[in-house]
Amino acid sequence: MTITRADCVALDADDPLRHLRDEFVLPEGTIYLVGNSLGAPPKAASAALTRVVQEEWAGRLVGGWNAAGWFDLPETTGDRIAPLIGAGPGQVVVGDTTSIAVVKAVSAALRLRPGRRVIVSDLENFPTDRYMVQGLVKGLGDYEIRDVRGSEGLAGALDDDVACVLLSEVDYRTGDRHDTAEVTARVQAAGALMIWDLCHSAGAFQVDVTPADFAVGCTYKYLNGGPGAPAFVYVHPRHQNATEHLLSGWHGHAAPFAFEPDYRPAEGIRRFTVSTPHVLSFAALNASLDVWERVDLAQLRAKSTALTSLFIDLVEELCAPYGLTLVTSRDPERRGSQVSFAHPDGYPVMRALIDRGVHGDFRAPDVLRFGFAPLYIRFTDAYDAAVTLAEVLEKEHWREERYRQRLTVT
């Protein structure tokens, strides 16, 4: 083999981020390449939750809304996520779910382009982004969805009817990354607004959200906020006071505690909150953001591309005879922090692999996904994963009956 395990040990020893792995709980004997689906728990998460329950909830009771800063969590947590996506203070709020965030962004975008009736939606978007837009359009009437496939499909889709375009910076299945600057410029040149889904970007690399009009994203993947951690929404400052979104709840009201009968939107990013933040879910996320404060994002990206390139090279070398096809772009610039391979028996292959301690996941119809969360995945992990995958394929472990029975895949 061109690259040896000893090389990978050396790469790990030289990794400037290597100490960050100690901040996470990772089970012995598991190579966890599913951080692109659910990030590993920060060691500090458990204590953070205990503190919020015992000191804030039990200690302050309802007074926690002010004294413990609960009321402001959507904004204070948003300001902590902002640098990870290239945004400034007052441009990001956290709360609800990505699906709800899509409704906020799209409904706010539509109001900014009143004459235009088309929403462009990518067939490759994560399904819930599509479903939420479909639900919105069905409710609003009078609008239509124009489906495209990838940014290439945009060329023929942009005209004077398009109000906004919703794309994912990194494709959840393929791991491919759009050239957001180029795509955003094209969309905006057509007079439309650009909404990016950053679910597979935030925490995978330094995002530059600033040219975008809106962005949404989740915090439980690379950001390690925990299962169902709250989502975020970015709104460009020029739009914040110029539009409203559909979900006009009391926390987005100009005077939430005046209990006025009619909605009056708050100024600024607070307008994009809805209602009572899920305080306990914020606690784990903020424990993770304490780790993120110490991360150099240039180092993160360098490690991420090195890891994914290494894994591609190794798998292609070791698994050449076994019918795997690289799905993800070979150009590191066009990749997130994930590598996908297709295999006609992808589902049992992945199950056999998981049984051997290498956790990736499977996406229909035939995609094996491997996420490389650069905070805690090592070069030796990439090496060992590739070797194990080759073994599974070579020895045809995946043909065993027990791997072919379909389980629910998450």
Q: Which of residues 23-82 bind its own copies (CB under 8 A)?
A: 25, 27, 30, 32, 34, 37-38, 40-41, 45-46, 49-50, 53-54, 56-59, 61-66, 70-71
Q: Which of residues 240-269 bind its own copies (CB under 8 A)?
A: 244-251, 253, 256-263
* Number of CB atoms found within 10 A of residue 216's CB: 29
Q: Which residues, other chains included, contact 209 with Cβ-Cβ below 8 Å and sequence gap of 6+?
A: 85, 86, 87, 196, 198, 215, 234
Residue 99 marked ligand-binding: yes
Could you check whether the bond before residue 89 is cis, i.e. omega within 30 degrees of 0?
no
Binding mask 209-238 for its own copies (x = CB under 8 A): ---------x-x-----xxxxx--------
Closer to its own copies by Cβ: residue 41 or 336? 41
Residue 380 marked ligand-binding: no
- Tell which residue, 375, 317, 314, 321, has the closest CA to residue 343: 321
To its own copies, the closest distance from the beta carbon of 109 in angstroms equals: 13
Closer to its own copies by Cβ: residue 53 or 387? 53
Alpha carbons 239 and 228: distance in angstroms, whole number: 28
Examine residue 150 and tell whether it contacts its own copies (CB under 8 A): no
Tokens representing 223 are 């950001």
Q: What is the DSSP letter of 267?
A: S
Residue 220 marked ligand-binding: yes
Tell me the three state secondary structure of residue 223: coil
Q: Which of residues 338-367 bind its own copies (CB under 8 A)?
A: 359, 361, 363-364
Give the count of alpha carbons within 13 A of 134, CB side only.
Answer: 9
Whether 369 is a known active-site residue: answer yes
To its own copies, the closest distance from the beta carbon of 331 in angstroms equals: 25
Closer to its own copies by Cβ: residue 177 or 245? 245
Whether 24 is a known active-site residue: answer no
- Tell which residue, 302, 245, 299, 297, has the closest CA to residue 274: 245
Residue 355 marked ligand-binding: no
Q: Which of residues 276-315 bind its own copies (CB under 8 A)?
A: 276-284
Of the residues 89, 139, 323, 344, which one makes contact with its own copies according to CB under 8 A: 139
Active-site residue, selected from the candidate residues 80, 104, 130, 221: 221
To its own copies, the closest distance from the beta carbon of 118 in angstroms equals: 17
* 79-117 residues labelled b (16+ CB within 10 A) or e (exposed): bbbbbbbbbeebbbbbbbbbbbbbbbbbbbbbebbeebe
Residues 237, 90 contacting (CB under 8 angstroms): yes
Active-site residue, selected from the candidate residues 32, 214, 220, 370: 220
Closer to its own copies by Cβ: residue 203 or 277? 277
Residue 273 marked ligand-binding: no
Active-site residue, selected from the candidate residues 32, 71, 126, 311: 126
Can you spell out the DSSP letters for 243-263? ---S---GGGBSSGGG--SS-
Alpha carbons 11 and 304: distance in angstroms, whole number: 13
To its own copies, the closest distance from the beta carbon of 200 in angstroms equals: 14
Q: Tokens 């400052």 map to which residue?
A: 237
Whether 197 is a known active-site residue: answer yes
Residues 195, 215 contacting (CB under 8 angstroms): yes
Number of residues that bind its own copies (CB under 8 A): 94
Alpha carbons 339 and 316: distance in angstroms, whole number: 12
Q: Which residues, other chains included, contact 214 with Cβ-Cβ below 8 Å and sequence gap of 6+?
A: 105, 108, 109, 164, 193, 194, 195, 196, 233, 234, 235, 236, 239
To its own copies, the closest distance from the beta carbon of 364 in angstroms equals: 6
Residue 128 marked ligand-binding: yes
Q: Which of residues 97-136 bind its own copies (CB under 8 A)?
A: 97-100, 103, 107, 123, 126-128, 130-132, 134-136
Alpha carbons 113 and 238: distance in angstroms, whole number: 14
Whether 220 is a known active-site residue: answer yes
Active-site residue, selected from the candidate residues 15, 79, 197, 381: 197
Closer to its own copies by Cβ: residue 89 or 227? 227
To its own copies, the closest distance from the beta carbon of 264 in angstroms equals: 9
What residues are annotated to the active site? 126, 197, 220-221, 369
Question: Residues at the annotated binding site?
Answer: 98-99, 126-129, 197, 200, 220, 250, 276
Question: Residues at the annotated binding site for pyridoxal 5'-phosphate?
Answer: 98-99, 126-129, 197, 200, 220, 250, 276
